[in-house]
Amino acid sequence: MTAYYRPRRLRTTPAMRRMVAQTRINPAQLVLPVFVAEGITSPVALTSMPGVQRHTMDSLVKLAHEAVIQGLGGLMVFGVPAEDNKDDLGTQAYAEQGILNQALARLRAEVGDEIVIMADTCLDEFTTHGHCGIVNRSGHVDNDATCDLYAKQAVAQARAGAHMVGPSGMMDGQVAAIRQGLDDEGFTDVGILAYSAKYASAFYGPFREAVSCSLSGDRRTYQMDPANRREGSFETELDIAEGADMVMVKPAGYYLDIVADVAGLSSVPVAAYQVSGEYSMIQAAGERGWIDTEAALKESVLCILRAGADVVLTYGAMDLAKEMKK
């Protein structure tokens, strides 16, 4: 049989496959989300996220040094305040002594500019009701009042030492409000990684345990409807127009159409967040011996990059970085 085209020729050896691989995972484009908790004296393992911990300030610093050694691109830092430090307005989110702001200051002092320090800019970890914003008397999340607090929170995070702030609350106009707030305080060099197309997803389940979020109900009035594709592009265009330095799609693996759309239209780098549920499902199946955890994790991130993401946030960042060195 004569076949002129035999694509298999390029798959014959590992060296051949490596040479023609269109997509590669580089640790520099991986961001590790991390949790720092108030009031604990040693790290606490998260049962719903194998391999992930709530950190003390000291164990967080250790992890950050390790991330630098592994060549990771960044850390996305989430704070978990003590229960009695939560209130209706999420005050600890913008207080200098709030756990997240303290952690940012400590991290910046320890690792300087060796890695990009990113801060989650959102109120849900800090509010008693668990919503991402302020809830008004009729039980609705007040968009504009929340944006004002995001700006305040971003300034506190910048002051503490964050290189980038990551507004994840999906309020309309949040990027513009934060840009204005940062600029007014002289933080013109602090960037905004905007969660632009963030969907109201069931895959955030394990994360809510991680940050002991008090939410009852859902976030469907502010996060996007998973049914909508076009809106992912629209939300992204708005954020870019408001001054986002990077945009993000979240979740990632089930939203590759959105990642591809956003990569196609965006004039700024595109990040995608492989969220807790995506990560934990791979871990859980691996624990049962149903799947090869390492291989599945690697493939899942590779596919997110292939769809067009420049940067991937994943709880597997450290493991992947080590794996890539082998």
Catalytic residue numbers, as ranges? 198, 250
Q: Which is nearer to ligand PBG, 265 or 285 (CB)?
A: 285
Instruction: Considering only the stretches 18-26, 119-127, 140-148, 172-180, report the one whose residues sit in contact with ligand PBG under the rule CB under 6 A.
Output: 119-127
Query: Which ranges of the chain does DSSP label H, i.e. alpha helix?
Result: 14-20, 57-69, 99-111, 143-160, 174-184, 205-210, 230-241, 256-265, 276-287, 293-306, 317-325
The verdict on 300 binding ligand PBG (CB under 6 A) reads no
Task: Kindly tell me which residue out of 157, 168, 293, 314 binds ligand PBG, with binding defined by CB under 6 A.
Answer: 168
Q: In angstroms, give the least distance from the CB of 39 to ligand PBG.
A: 20
Report the C-alpha gap between 4 and 20 in whole angstroms: 19
Residues 171-230 that bind ligand PBG (CB under 6 A): 204, 207, 219
Ranked by CB distance to ligand PBG, the top (closest) residue is 207
The position carrying tokens 């050694």 is 69
Bridge partner residues of 165 (DSSP) = 119, 192
The verdict on 120 binding ligand PBG (CB under 6 A) reads yes
Instruction: Considering only the stretches 80-88, 117-125, 225-233, 237-245, report the one whose residues sit in contact with ligand PBG under the rule CB under 6 A.
Output: 117-125
Determine how β-strand 44-45 pairs with β-strand 53-55: antiparallel
The position carrying tokens 């008004």 is 136
Q: Which is nearer to ligand PBG, 73 or 79 (CB)?
A: 79
The verdict on 122 binding ligand PBG (CB under 6 A) reads yes
Contacts of 20 (CB under 8 A, 6+ apart): 10
Task: Kindly tell me which residue out of 236, 276, 283, 300 binds ligand PBG, with binding defined by CB under 6 A.
Answer: 276
Contact 76, 111 (CB under 8 A): no
